[in-house]
Every structure is written in C-alpha cells, then in structure tokens.
Structure 1
Amino acid sequence: MTRTCLALQHLSFEDLGSLAPVLLSMGFDIVYRHAGVDDLSSEHAQAEWREADLVVVLGGPIGVYEAGRYPFIPDELARITERLESGKPLIGICLGAQLMAAANGQKVYPGPAKEIGYKPLKLTTAGHDSPLQALLDCGYEVLHWHGDTFDLPEGAKLLASTDLVTNQAFSMGPRVLGLQCHLEVVPDNMERWLIGHTAELTAAGIDVHQLRSDNLRVGEALLHCAQRTWLNWLKMAFAH
C-alpha cells in the first residue's frame, strides 16, 4: 500500500532533502504544500492533513509570534494541533518544531543569539536511546540555523541540547519528532542556503566561507548519518 508524506514548505530551497530518498525507498509518495500560498484553512487542506500518513513541517526565517505579519500562521497551528491530537506521525524541523511547541501551548521566543553553523549535539539519555544515536558516526555534528527557541512541550522527552540552546530535539511518543537542527540539508544544496539567507548571515556576522568549508568537511558524513536517523525513526513511527 502506498503511503503519502505531506511536506509543508516556507521556502522553496528548504525541502525534505536527505529525508526524501528514504521516504521514496519505503514507498511513500511526496506532496509539497506551501505556507502563505496554499490555503491551509480550506476543507481540502484539512482533509489532506488528516489523511496523510506522515506530515513534515519544514523550516523558514519567520517567527511563530509573527502572526500579525504572516496571517497564515494560525492556520498552520490549527492543522498541527489537529495532527497532534490524531496521534499520526509528524516531524517538525526548525520553524516546524517551534510551531509544534506553540501548538502545545508553549512559548516561542528569540534565543540568546543566532545559532548558525555546524556544531555537535549533546544527546540526553533519552536521545541516546532514540534514532538520533545514528548520528554517532559523524560525532553528532549537525547544521544549526535558527534564532528562536521554545519551551519544551508538556510530556515531551528532551533528546538533545547545545551549549547555547537547551531544547534542540524532542519526541512526544514514537510518532512525533521535533528538531531545531537541520538534518535534512544535503551538501549539494548548501549554496542555495547561503544565497537565500544572505541578509540574515550578514546581519549576524556569520562567516560564509567557514560555513562552506564546514559543509565540505562534514556534509557527506552527516548525509549518511541523517539518512540512517530518518530510516530508524520511520521504522519506529510506522511499527505501531
């Protein structure tokens, strides 16, 4: 039986990346929808979110608290709330994880500083017992690209932290995963990120040359570790 993954994008170059081939290998069809373009309040959208076997909410450079500027955010929160209540598989990446926290009634707010670049995650005991343990072979070093953080949803398990941001990854049972970091980014797509986020990088004083160099150093190893992580999580999520 064919399964469907519904992926919600906020930027065209922030896609499923390393997750996509894993999904295709498991027989998923992938459908992209675009925040701010597709009407998430429509009956069609509500049905899509209910019927999809997996929903992935991807990242973007806006804040959950900016609904006054981006009026589609309440519709995103409504769909995510319904999805969480359904108990069906859900992944949130960066902004997606922040939206999941907000849908659980938690605060989302600017972090102490922009966290952009490659640095290791510090896994908790629960994290070592989770699919994130597959990141061992790349030293748990992943790409971070966010300015906001959030309070941990009630009942969630904290899986990973960094020195700057405590809530880097969480789970809510075997079918819900929230990630601040970007396991999905593939090495060949990094240049699009460097171009698309140039204003943010410049404002934050981030060294583009260092990001490019670190991508060459870490990217391939991280790609393989990330795909093992995705595969292990999907097997767990769809085993129940």
Structure 2
Amino acid sequence: MKQLRIHYLQHVHFEGLGLIKNWIGEHQHILTATRFYKNEKLPTIDSFDWLIIMGGPMGVNDEKDYPWLIKEKSYIRKAIDMDKTVIGICLGAQLIASSLGARVYQNPVKEIGWFPVQKSKEAIGNPLVGSLCDTFTVFHWHSETFEIPRGATRLFESSACKNQAFLYGEKIIGLQFHLEISPEAIRNMVSNGKGELAIASANMQKGDSIMAELRHYSNSNQVLNNILNKLHTKKIT
C-alpha cells in the first residue's frame, strides 16, 4: 500500500486520534497535526494526502468563542476541492457538512453513550460500507446534528438521530459517532465531560454505565479499520 501523508485537526486535548493512530502506525504512514487548543498553525493543503478532523465540545457555529472555526471550515472546503481524502468524526463530521453548505443544528435530544446505529436504505450495497453489519453498537457524544450535504449519501441512522454518517463523492466521509474510541480515550472524555453525565435517560448513559460497556470498542475498531482500508486502497468503485 502507498505510504500516506496524514494530517489531523484536534480541537481539545482529550479528543485525539484514538485507535486511528494504531492504523496509521501499522501502515507506517506519515502523521502530522494541528492542535487548535495550542494555537498551532495550519499547513499548506498540498503537504498532505488525507485530512482527519476530530471531535470536541464546541459547536460548528460557535465562531465568537472559537474564531479559528472560520478558518478551519474554509480550510476543510479547500481540502475537499483539492481532491483530498477527508474524514470527520463527530464535530469533524459537522464541520465537513457545514463546509459543504449543509445546516448544522441542535438534535432533538442529546445522545451520549453506547447505542446502536443502523445502515440506511441508501447505504445498502454502498462500496464503502455495504459489507458492514446492518446494525452495530457505537459510542456517541453529541447534542447537535447535520443535514446531509447536497449530493452526499446518508449511511447510518439511530433512533435518536436520523443523520449519523454520510459519504460525499468517493472519499469524503462524516461520522457522527466515535469508531476511533479506545478505553483510554473514553476515560478521558468521561472525566472531562462529567457535567453532562449526571442524569441518565433513554439516550444518555451515566459515566459508570459507559465504562461498563467498554467491550463494544473492539468491534468499533474493526469497523473503523474496514473503512480506512477501503479508503486507502480505493476499493470503492
């Protein structure tokens, strides 16, 4: 497989690459980063092949509090226009959607914890995700959601959130949920997000319940590797 130059955008210290870093290391790809919480600068877009955008507690439209969001959305759109592979996770997916002109807005309910997603009708037979199980359990932590960008394919849905993932073209993918999550990453998120975990509901788990279901991360990692491998080899024709 071709060695890739992969650049990722990180918004807060406790939401990093997670298990994506393992995949990158196994394939000996070149990895660089821009950490907005450290005020690091963005590189030129021709310096990488893939752009990965991570999550964070801020919203796509919180530009007054996080002015770098304006530059970041423009940067993502330029990467798409320059035919880069672009992967967004949670906030990252919302940023891709916004960069493509889709609306990002409050979901009717928060969705936090381990809950199943189902493959959408549009995704059946899709070359990128068609071979995945129709339903599997993933980790969620979001209060906002996105419209599916014009021209994109909706891939997954859940009972609490209709638009969970999309594919734009052949190599632009937005995932509302966290396939990259590792036990350590979940501990960090739970530790830094205690304020949102005080009350359980049908769509929200408390921290101890989240930690009790860590077994699901292994299957999420397999799904993630499947998607990354197909994007890498471009077996999505």
**Normalised by the size of structure 2, how large is the TM-score?**
0.88
Give per-residue Cα distances to partners, 1:113-133, cap 9 Å, x unaligned: 110111111112443424335
Give per-residue Cα distances to partners, 1:220-239, cap 9 Å, x unaligned: 233233323322232227x8
Equivalent position of 2:206 in the other structure: 207
Match of 1:226 among 216, 224, 227: 224
Distance 2:63 2:210 in 1: 31
Contact 2:10 2:34 (C-alpha < 8 Å) held by counterparts: yes
Equivalent position of 1:136 in the other structure: 133
Match of 1:54 among 45, 50, 53: 50
Local SS of the residue matching 2:88: strand
Match of 2:86 among 85, 90, 112: 90
Equivalent position of 1:112 in the other structure: 108
Q: CA RMSD in A?
A: 2.2
Displacement, 1:26?
Answer: 2.6
Counterpart residue type for residue 28 of structure 1: H
Counterpart residue type for residue 4 of structure 2: R
Equivalent position of 2:27 in the other structure: 26
Number of corresponding residues: 232
Match of 1:177 among 173, 178, 181: 173
| Structure 2 spans left out of the alignment, 5+ residues | none
Displacement, 1:218?
Answer: 1.6
Choose 101-110 or 200-209, whichever is displaced more: 200-209
Counterpart residue type for residue 127 of structure 1: A
Larger helix proportion, structure 1 or 2? 1
Give per-residue Cα distances to partners, 1:93-113, cap 9 Å, x unaligned: 111111111111221111111
Distance 1:104 1:214 in 2: 35
Match of 1:77 among 73, 76, 80: 73
Distance 1:10 1:125 in 2: 33
Equivalent position of 2:193 in the other structure: 197
